[in-house]
Amino acid sequence: MNSYIHITDKNTISSRFSVIPSITNLWRLFISTTFISILSLTFSISQACGGDPFRTANPRNIGEKTELAFKALFEDGNYPLAREYLILAESEEQNDPMLPALRSALAYTEQDWQTMSDYATKTVEVAKAIADQDPLRSNLYLAVGNFLEGAYQFTTDGPVAALNKLQLVFKYFDEAEKIDSNDPELNLIKGYLNLILAVNLPFSTPEQAIEKLQEDAYPQYLVNRGIALAYRDLDDYDSALVFVDKAIESTPINPELYYLKGQILRKKGQTENNIPLLKEALKNFDLALAKVEQLPLEAVRKPLKREKRKTLEKIEELTASGSDINLPVTPENDLRPPLTKEDEINLPVTSEDALSLPLTTEDDANLPFTPEDEINLPVTSEDDANLPFTPEDGAIPEVADDLDDLDNLNSPESSENQTLTNPIDESFPPTSTKNQPAIYSPIDNLRD
């Protein structure tokens, strides 16, 4: 059983009214312009390769006008031009259910509800008509047609009225899977649907759906676009930026991709209170607005202008409050130009810079000499010869200048008032002076 069957079980939904908001959000996602790209995916793939790249046997016929329509829509993001090509293709390729499906989806972007309903019904009719010759694609586009009818009912009557159609969508997907579960066209559309479900419903695994879409889907720019949307809705803005940049690299003239990138940057900038990111979002909004005339009015133009206005308001709010002053500067948000050698030479040197700079011999020669420096310098033999001798250097007895001073030193009175200190350690045994010759000094000769 498929992972989405139990989620949309009618009895379960009717018994748990709290599930209705989730289904409402799903329908909004399904009928967005993003899901239009899902409906067109197989045709855009075929046209890019000049045939049916999925099947080596029984390839599907693709018309020239269909190719031009999808290139205009999904590579150039030009909705009016795509609509013109689809009108031309309709008169020549009436047996392909994809064409009325796209006409219905484009009518939704224009809020032309009656045209949307008419082409949704036609999609179901053409899908039934090819049941004998192509039962797999018949069931696949019966799912798509019922989806479009449900989207119309959701828009006009609310989510409860569309629940039965949602059941039929999953039923026909299952029927197609029974015919060929490995069919790439089926897995492409269903894989994108599963990705939307996984991102927006609880107890799901978006990582598995993303991995499957990467493995099975093509063309890559639509795959990258879908994954960027998924990561945006999962609040993983860094991953979303990686994939939207990949999509832009493949189709750089599509204004919708710049709108998507601006949305991601805006969400990230608001979360981090980061003005540089918000300004970068504005740049991408402006790139999309440069081609605003080729985008649908209600589905893209109005939301785009509204998001740009809110981004400007957020920048003004952060600037007034100074909320971004203490933000750390990272390579991603640092918009300053890199420093050149000329810039570095002219920068003022702070005390913190000076402490971290190496000291050169030129610097050392010009520095003032302080007492602290003198204490810490090593004393050389040349320095020692020139230093004055102080009492702290050693207790050296003074030599008498004349004989009177010497008599004073040897007088009994002087001896009584002096305390002689033996420089020899007291623990050392005294040495006897008996039988030792007398030692004469020059002073003794003078006294004689």
The pLDDT of residue 395? 52
The pLDDT of residue 3? 42
* Percent of the chain surpassing pLDDT 90: 29
Higher pLDDT, 350 or 258: 258
The pLDDT of residue 56? 53
Predicted structure pTM score: 0.64
Q: Which of 179-183, 223-227, 282-286, 395-399 has the highest mean pLDDT?
A: 282-286
Higher pLDDT, 330 or 426: 330
Residue 386 has a CB neighbour count (10 Å cut-off) of: 6
Tokens of 154: 């959701």
- What number is the average pLDDT over the span 325-351? 58
The pLDDT of residue 8? 41
Q: Give the whole-angstrom CA distance, residue 244 versus residue 252.
A: 11
Q: Give the whole-angstrom CA distance, residue 52 versus residue 54.
A: 6
CA dihedral 276, 277, 279, 285 (to 10 degrees): 170
The pLDDT of residue 93? 75
Tokens of 8: 């949309």
Q: What is the pLDDT of residues 11-53, one digit of tens each?
A: 433 333 333 444 555 556 555 544 554 554 444 444 444 444 4
Q: How confident is the model at residue 98 (pLDDT cuts 50, 70, 90)?
A: confident
What domains appear along the chain, each with residue ranges and CATH number?
7-205 (no CATH), 219-320 (1.25.40.10)
Higher pLDDT, 144 or 49: 144
The pLDDT of residue 10? 41
Higher pLDDT, 256 or 330: 256
- What number is the average pLDDT over the span 164-189? 85
User: Which of 35, 165, 166, 188 lies closest to 109 in space, CA to CA?
Assistant: 35
- CA-to-CA separations, 411 to 396, 416, 419, in angstroms, rounded: 21, 9, 14
- CA-to-CA separations, 404 to 269, 399, 415, 419, 441, in angstroms, rounded: 98, 12, 15, 21, 17
Least confident of 135-144, 200-209, 384-393, 395-404: 395-404
The pLDDT of residue 57? 55
- What number is the average pLDDT over the span 370-376? 62
Higher pLDDT, 242 or 351: 242
3-state SS record for 372-408: HHHHHCCCCHHHHHHCCCCHHHCCCCCCCCCHHHHHH
Least confident of 66-75, 126-135, 262-271, 290-299: 66-75
Q: How confident is the model at residue 377 (pLDDT cuts 50, 70, 90)?
A: low
- Above 50 in pLDDT, residue 356? yes
Instruction: Encode burial over 66-82: b for 16+ CB neighbours within 10 A, e otherwise.
Output: bbbbbbbbbbbbbbebb
3-state SS record for 85-106: HHHHHHCCCCCCCHHHHHHHHH
The pLDDT of residue 54? 47
- Above 50 in pLDDT, residue 320? yes
Q: What is the pLDDT of residues 405-440, one digit of tens each?
A: 545 555 555 544 444 444 445 444 555 444 555 554
Q: How confident is the model at residue 139 (pLDDT cuts 50, 70, 90)?
A: very high
Q: What is the pLDDT of residues 247-268, one digit of tens each?
A: 999 999 999 999 999 999 999 9
**Burial class of residue 331 (count of CB atoms within 10 Å of its CB; 0-12, 13-18, 19+):** exposed
